[in-house]
Amino acid sequence: MIRLVEVGPRDGLQNEATTVGVEQKVAFINALAAAGERDIEVGAFVHPKWVPQMAGSEDVIKALPTLDGVRWSALVPNLKGLERALACGIRRIAVFTAASETFNQKNINMSIQASLDGYRPVVHQALQAGLSVRGYVSTVFVCPYEGDVKKERVLEVTQALLDMGVDEVSLGDTIGAAAPNDIENTVGYLLETVPPQRLALHCHDTYGTALANVVAGLNLGIRTFDASAGGLGGCPYAPGASGNLATEDLVYLLTRMGFDTGIDLDRLAQASGVMEAALGRQLPSRQLQRLRQLSRSSCAGSP
């Protein structure tokens, strides 16, 4: 069994030019859960001045039902964010830093160490309040400013997050530049110290390598993968980065490889299709492209 973490409503929509209203978000998230998604990141308690797309996260969370076996989570940057998370009753939060100094500086305007120091009380208080916490590390393989990132640095940051009590660390190929050898090198190195159940892989598909990287992760024993419905989103402060790996594409691959995801691909693509229409732009999910093409198909020639 593979665990998928759906990041479309947060990491996806946060990076779309069009801001989606609370009602549409709630309908989208409910549709994703109805398609079989079990772990869905639904919002972020960041300042709406910086990320206007995430304004109204409280309203989204309050409007979501309690569903058996389904976990909603939200991004929390600091203690103020944690207060908001606790106030609206969400049970899982995520904190985020990077493995590259320059990227972290540009992304959240502080050093990696400062961000880790800031998260320690956040994670502590969240755990005290009975919440669970996920950690994100961005630019695990390649930084758009610094180039290749050292695996030793990735281990330090990952270990620091685990030490403060996050239950898993999602390793982000933020600009989608990694190839399977990068996964083998860096994730293979982490796995010498960290058990595979504590790691997730978060791929972007900028160069089309995302599924190849997932397979490299599978071969190493990773069983948790992030993806974004429809391939929503892109990457903040990462010039030229395109969308997240589309959940549909990941589900197709895993299903074809004989893994059970519990997700209904047709219902999932339908949910993404509604969001695609709302955003008014074609999403990169191959499944959506294929459906669009089927509806107007005719081709000729051989072989």
Q: Does 209 bind a copy of itself (CB under 8 A)?
A: yes
Q: Does 107 bind a copy of itself (CB under 8 A)?
A: yes
SS3 per-residue string spanning 238-298: CCCCCCECEHHHHHHHHHHCCCCCCCCHHHHHHHHHHHHHHHCCCCCCHHHHHHHHHCCCC
Of 18, 111, 181, 193, which one interacts with a copy of itself (CB under 8 A)?
181
Helix, strand or coil for residue 133? strand
235 catalytic residue (yes or no): yes
Residue nearer to a copy of itself on the CB measure, 111 or 181 = 181
* CB 244 to a copy of itself: min, Å: 11
* CB 62 to a copy of itself: min, Å: 22
Under a CB-based contact definition with an 8 Å cutoff, are residues 94 and 41 in contact?
A: yes
SS3 per-residue string spanning 204-251: ECCCCCHHHHHHHHHHHCCCEEEEEHHHCCCCCCCCCCCCECEHHHHH
Residue 267's Cβ-count burial label (10 Å; 0-12, 13-18, 19+) is middle
Active site residue: 143, 203, 235, 299, which one? 235
Q: Does 294 bind a copy of itself (CB under 8 A)?
A: yes
* CB 97 to a copy of itself: min, Å: 8
CB atoms within 10 A of CB 12: 30
Contacts of 30 (CB under 8 A, 6+ apart): 64, 65
Q: CB under 8 A: which stretch of 23-31, 33-41, 271-279, 286-294 binds a copy of itself?
A: 286-294
Of 128, 258, 260, 280, which one interacts with a copy of itself (CB under 8 A)?
258
Q: Does 249 bind a copy of itself (CB under 8 A)?
A: yes
Strands 224-227 and 39-44: what pairing? unpaired
Q: What is the largest CA-CA distance in the chain?
A: 64
Q: What share of the chain is helix, strand, coil (3-state, %, to 5)?
A: 45, 15, 35
Residue nearer to a copy of itself on the CB measure, 33 or 235 = 235
Q: Does 1 bind a copy of itself (CB under 8 A)?
A: no
Q: φ and ψ at 245, to 5 degrees?
A: -55, 130
Under a CB-based contact definition with an 8 Å cutoff, are residues 232 and 243 in contact?
A: yes
Q: Does 240 bind a copy of itself (CB under 8 A)?
A: yes
* CB 186 to a copy of itself: min, Å: 13
- The site map against a copy of itself for 29-58 (x = CB under 8 A) is -----------------x---xx-xx----
Using CB under 8 A as the binding rule, the residues of this chain from 141 to 170 that contact a copy of itself are: none
Q: CB under 8 A: which stretch of 66-74, 122-130, 157-165, 289-297 binds a copy of itself?
A: 289-297
As a whole number of angstroms, the distance between CA 187 and CA 154 comes to: 9
Residue nearer to a copy of itself on the CB measure, 65 or 240 = 240
Which tokens in the block code for residue 4?
Answer: 């998928």
Interface ranges with a copy of itself (CB under 8 A):
11, 14-15, 17, 46, 50-51, 53-54, 75, 96-98, 107-108, 136, 138, 172, 174, 177-182, 205-212, 214-216, 234-242, 246, 249, 252-253, 256-258, 284, 286-287, 289-290, 293-294, 297, 299-303
Task: Please list the active-site residues.
Answer: 235
